[in-house]
Structure 1
Amino acid sequence: MRKKLKVLVFGTGFAGQGHAQAFRDAGAEVVGIVGRTPKIVEDVAKKINVPYFGTDWKQALETCQPDIVSIATPGGAHVEPIKQAIQFGCHVFCDKPLTEGGDSAQELYRLAEEKQVKTAFAASFRYMPHIMQAKELVAQGYIGEPREVECISHFNLDPYIPFGWSHTIENGGGRLNNNFTHLMSIVTSVVGENILAVQGEVRNDMPKAPVVSGVHNFTERRNFIPKDINDPNLEWKDCNVEWSYTILMKIESRLPAAQPVSVLFKHGGLTPRFNEDHIVFHGSKGSIYIKGHYGNGPLYLWGENKEWVEVELPQHIADELPKIEDDTQRSWTHLAKQLVQDLQGENVEPYQGFKEGAEYQQIIDHIRKNDRWLDLN
């Protein structure tokens, strides 16, 4: 029998527990988990049945001797643990964003290349079933030459979500790091991986946030919104990240001799949606419309009959993906399987790594500069 690869997880929240499950589903052995708080990491380790737990990452690397490390903390805490893991010769599975900035992300990519370790970058909603279906339809010529893409989403987030890592640039927060990364991955997977040009602007709609203790799991932060936001004793902290963005991009088409594909990304973190969030791919012969901000579906095709027709998901795509209902968990698991199978010498489809993670972070840095306006005053 093939020896199981050993995985050490860094992070105890929603992502850390999800990564652990993903690697177990991929056939690897989760040998340890590391977090910041002793009681929390112990409780999580017992909950998900992980034998080793602790708060010292370097000690965990030495004790567990993992083949793979899974980085599931906020982006601002990625750099040093990844550097140490690479020096140990570990392969790295990292959630988005890769780091808090383009320079540090590029450094990690360079170090991984020098040590010849494999990396996986989990902007993993490119593995949504209907996104994979759209990629297939485009490749088969159903819309002709891809020309235009639009990604429209409005999340209507509560402006009083308690202050945390998502509110600051230095901790890897912001909608570009935690929403736009997925959308770049989705669009490039369908029309072509080579990003040619980008420009955009961002807006901070949440300049301050209330400080509330007890929030550990990112997905449960809404449960901690203060009941009285006008309480004079409530502490507030400044937020320095974007909550909305508008971005234009040119992507080299995967089709030979085709024009670059024009892409619009429009996201409002705090604004309400009137109709469905959606992703649309327009081509010279037809269009693909997918409901949902990450292409949740269903998918509709506009073709020669000049009307939108819903197209069922092909069975072979459903069979290719793990049988998991939750979109995030299914996507993590699929990518973890790609990495594990690759390390075991199997042939796998190309998957994103630190090369893309570093490129995305440099793009985000550029957009945040917001310096492409023509001042008409």
Structure 2
Amino acid sequence: MIKSPRVLIHGTGFAGQGHAEAFCYAGAEVVGIVGRTDSVTRQVAKDMNIAYAGTDWAQALSDCKPDIVSIATPGGAHYEAIKLAIAHGCHIFCDKPMTTDGESAEELYHLAEAKNVKTAYAASFRYMPHVLFAKRLVAEGAIGEPQEVECISHFSLEKEIPFGWSHRKEEGGGRLNNNFTHKLSIVTSVVGEKILAISGEVRDDLREAPIVKGVHNFKTRRDHIPDDLNDPDLEWGESNVEWSYCVLAKLKSPFGPRPVSVLFKHGGLHPRFKEDHIVFYGSKGALYIAGHYGSGPLFHYGEDKQWMELPLPEDIAANIPNVDGDTERNWRYLISEFVKDVRGDDVPPYQTFKEGSLYQRLIDIIRKNDRWVDVSDLQNPDAR
């Protein structure tokens, strides 16, 4: 049993700082932080009152001797950092994506299992309050047998956002890694964790983005959009990853005998007309949650054939971490559960490297985009 786990953070940006705050909230001791740039890392450590700041991950593991490491860098930097942490016997909290591909993620999952270290995978929007409420309602039979789920979102992201890791497959970019992971986690948490089948397509609607120096915090990247996109001296980076996707899945549910059909439709660059949403349809009703990640409110369609907004139960509302931002609240929720587990307390199941590696393998399958059936000849019978 570890009363106050020692935590080393890998990453100094939005996620790194958010993880550090969440571990402090959970009662752990953040003993160090590691980043790429010495001056930035030292400044973040000073601002957050973290004693150790460094740029060498291996050295930091030896110097700080953490019980837990928190991986908060872009996905392309996860593999080596996690592998070293496993070798040191550290428990690991990792933001999504786990790595850049299914093969490397699966390797890390097996290494962690062999070393007997605890892992947590932060596709953490399953902890949105209204998602937790939907999970309870489905389990109580509010919609009968789950039959269909619809997840629709359009983000209207600016095409001029500066070029960075989110534009490159090898660095963990793409909307599957950074949107679909949360959506899949939400849906499986409500209707059932067993994924039976999946298919989909991806599309790069962007192709290039301006290269701008000085972008450090992912959350404030919009502030660095160039004023003059026609500047002849402006350099451009090539996108090689999806900005839109459409995925179909079938899930096994403990609440019904037949597979549940799921549609995930996302356009990262396209404008929304009405609100993004998640809908769970069943044999006796439906649940509608407004917002792309289920921010609410939640409406129930029942036997009276009317949509009615349902208030959030008091016990769920009382358990929401007190911090601004959905991302930050969900980190705190999951990290609190993870820290309790490391301490030796009993906690409900949470997603681990098992799910993280599965998600990366599913993304590999979707990106192959090879599930199409050529029907062009059917429109020209004479050619057959």
TM-score grouping bracket, smaller chain normalisation? over 0.9
1:1-377 matched pairs, under 5 angstroms: 3-255=3-255, 258-377=257-376
Q: Secondary structure at the match of 1:143?
A: coil
Q: Secondary structure at the match of 2:170?
A: coil
Letter of the 1:346 partner, please give it: D
CA-CA distance at 1:323 after TM superposition? 2.3
CA-CA distance at 1:374 after TM superposition? 1.2
Q: Deviations over 1:50-85 (max 9, x none)?
A: 000000001100010000000000000000010000
Aligned-residue RMSD, C-alpha: 1.0
Q: Secondary structure at the match of 2:206?
A: coil
Q: Secondary structure at the match of 1:321?
A: coil
Letter of the 1:111 partner, please give it: L
CA-CA distance at 1:326 after TM superposition? 1.6
CA-CA distance at 1:319 after TM superposition? 1.9
Letter of the 1:336 partner, please give it: I
Q: Secondary structure at the match of 1:138?
A: helix
Letter of the 1:124 partner, please give it: S
CA-CA distance at 1:187 after TM superposition? 0.3
Letter of the 1:24 partner, please give it: C
Distance in 2 (alpha carbons) for counterparts of 1:340 and 1:3: 9
CA-CA distance at 1:89 after TM superposition? 0.3
Distance in 2 (alpha carbons) for counterparts of 1:60 and 1:212: 30
Letter of the 2:280 partner, please give it: F
Instruction: Give the fraction of aligned pairs with identical amino acids, expressed as a percent.
Output: 65
CA-CA distance at 1:347 after TM superposition? 1.0
TM normalised by structure 2 equals: 0.97
Letter of the 2:163 partner, please give it: F
Distance in 2 (alpha carbons) for counterparts of 1:254 and 1:121: 23
Distance in 2 (alpha carbons) for counterparts of 1:32 and 1:195: 38
Letter of the 1:122 partner, please give it: A
Q: Deviations over 1:266-301 (max 9, x none)?
A: 000000000000000000000000000000000000
CA-CA distance at 1:325 after TM superposition? 3.3
CA-CA distance at 1:2 after TM superposition? 6.8
Letter of the 1:299 partner, please give it: L
| Structure 1 residue ranges without an equivalent (≥5) | none
| Structure 2 residue ranges without an equivalent (≥5) | 377-384
Letter of the 1:143 partner, please give it: I
Number of residues paired by the alignment? 376
TM normalised by structure 1 equals: 0.98
Q: Deviations over 1:4-49 (max 9, x none)?
A: 1100000000000000001000010000000000000000000111
Distance in 1 (alpha carbons) for counterparts of 2:322 and 2:10: 25
**Structure 1 stretches of 4+ moved >4 Å:** none
